[in-house]
C-alpha cells in the first residue's frame, strides 16, 4: 500500500516539474527584429524533488509528503544575422584562467575565419 502512495507522490512532483520545464523554457521562442536579426533566448534550468512517507500506527495508515523546486536562469541569447549565428552570454564573467580561455575560443575562431576570408 505504501509503495503505491509513494509512487503517486513522486508522479505528482515529476508531473509538475515537466509542466514548468519544457523545451521552450530552455530555448525560448525566436524574436525577429524589423531589420531581420533573429534573437533566441537561452536559459539554464535546475530542478530537484524529494518524496518521503511511512506507514503509521493503528489510526494513521500512511503519512507522506513531497516537495519540488525549479530554478530558471537566463544565460544568453543566440543572435542570427546574415546567416551567421553567435552566442551572447549574460552570465557573470569567468573567474578562473581556464574559464576565460574557454570563453575566448569563439571570438578567436571568428577572427581566424575573418583573416582567411580577407586573404581570398
At 24-46, the pLDDT tens digits run 778 888 999 999 999 999 988 88
pLDDT at 30: 92
Above 50 in pLDDT, residue 19?
yes
Secondary structure (3-state) at 58? coil
For residue range 68-116, list pLDDT tens digits in order.
Answer: 777 888 888 999 998 889 888 886 666 677 777 777 777 777 777 777 6
How far is residue 94's CA from residue 108's CA, in Å, rounded to a whole number? 17
How far is residue 15's CA from residue 18's CA, in Å, rounded to a whole number? 5
Above 60 in pLDDT, residue 2?
no
Q: Report the candidate in 35, 23, 37 with the shortest Cα–Cα distance to residue 78.
A: 37
Alpha helices in 21-78 (DSSP H): 23-26
> Does residue 53 contact residue 9 with C-beta atoms inside 8 Å?
yes
pLDDT band at 1 (very low <50, low <70, confident <90, very high): very low
Per the listing, cell 573567474 goes with 95
Residues 6 or more apart in contact with residue 79 via CB below 8 angstroms: 37, 38, 39, 85, 86, 87, 88
Q: How far from the centroid of its chain's Cα atoms is residue 39's Cα?
A: 17
Give me 61's grid cell.
495508515
How far is residue 30's CA from residue 90's CA, in Å, rounded to a whole number? 17
Amino acid at each position: 500500500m505504501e509503495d503505491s502512495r509513494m509512487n503517486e507522490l513522486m508522479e505528482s512532483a515529476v508531473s509538475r516539474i515537466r509542466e514548468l520545464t519544457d523545451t521552450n523554457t530552455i530555448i525560448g521562442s525566436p524574436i525577429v527584429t524589423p531589420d531581420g536579426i533573429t534573437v533566441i533566448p537561452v536559459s539554464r534550468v535546475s530542478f530537484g524533488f524529494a518524496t518521503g512517507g511511512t506507514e503509521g500506527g493503528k489510526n494513521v495508515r500512511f503519512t507522506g509528503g513531497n516537495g519540488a523546486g525549479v530554478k530558471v536562469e537566463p544565460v544568453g541569447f543566440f543572435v542570427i544575422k546574415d546567416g551567421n549565428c553567435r552566442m551572447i552570454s549574460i552570465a557573470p564573467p569567468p573567474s578562473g584562467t581556464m574559464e576565460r580561455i574557454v570563453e575566448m575560443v569563439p571570438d578567436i575562431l571568428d577572427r581566424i575565419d575573418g583573416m582567411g576570408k580577407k586573404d581570398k
